[in-house]
Amino acid sequence: MKRHRKPGHSPDAPDWQVEQVGSSAVLFRRGEPAPIVAEWFRGRYWQERNLVVGEEPGRGAVLFVRRGERTWVLRHYRRGGAVARLTADRYLWTGLERTRPFREWRLLRRLHEDGLPVPSPVAAHVRRSGLTWRGDIITERIADTRSLASAMTAGGIDAGAWEAVGTTLRRFHDRGVDHADLNAHNILLDAGMQVFLVDFDRGAVRTGSGWKRRNLDRLRRSLDKIARTGGAAFEEPDWDRLLRGYGSAA
């Protein structure tokens, strides 16, 4: 098969490259211990080698896999809503750099290098088929964390943690980072209550401020839903503490 390597050509991005093999294109950072190959984006590859160490509850498209001493998160891009009834994971081809895996990888790389608490991106994969594509992304797993949703259903979190969530969200907003799907499953907490954001599919760096309120409103709906359907501990004072942390970071 035809193999093509495309090195980073931007002055501020010398440490990445794109490797194309047939219909697949893989974007990854230089310096990986071994070349990233398209087969690594198939869940079956890891399952056959007994290297799957976990799976995201309720999201069969997310696997935690072991690569040497590292643990990666492998996520397949799937559609939601009414469109998913027509196609579960195909998207219209409009160019490689406009695909969601490539855009998310580049955004994560930028945020990680800026010191924001996000997972380090490893590689993005796109496989084209005519006018459509399917894709995946691999990121480093953030060790010893659990989602805000899990912490809520396990008995709730203390006031300081709610404020830490708000403070962290303000850090992202002050940098213009719009998380397109800000919910309690995409916010992680470690044992020291450090807060991380994950899953930046369709995220972007924006100007203006209207999207910031939409972010917070979406998170509030998520918290209310978890409390309503999962019996999680969440009350109005918790939201007030989150907003206090958000405001104190100004």
Q: Which residues are catalytic?
A: 181
Helix axes 236-248, 159-174, angle to 10 degrees: 40
In whole angstroms, what separates CA 42 from the centre of its chain? 18
**For residue 175, how many other CB atoms are within 10 A of its CB?**
13
Contact (Cβ atoms closer than 8 angstroms) between residue 84 and residue 60: no
Which H or E run contains 164? helix 159-174
How are beta strands 204-205 and 3-7 bridged, if at all? unpaired
**Identity of the residue numbered 248:** S
Cβ atoms of 211 and 235 closer than 8 Å: no
Residues in the chain: 250
What kind and span of H or E run contains 52? strand 52-55
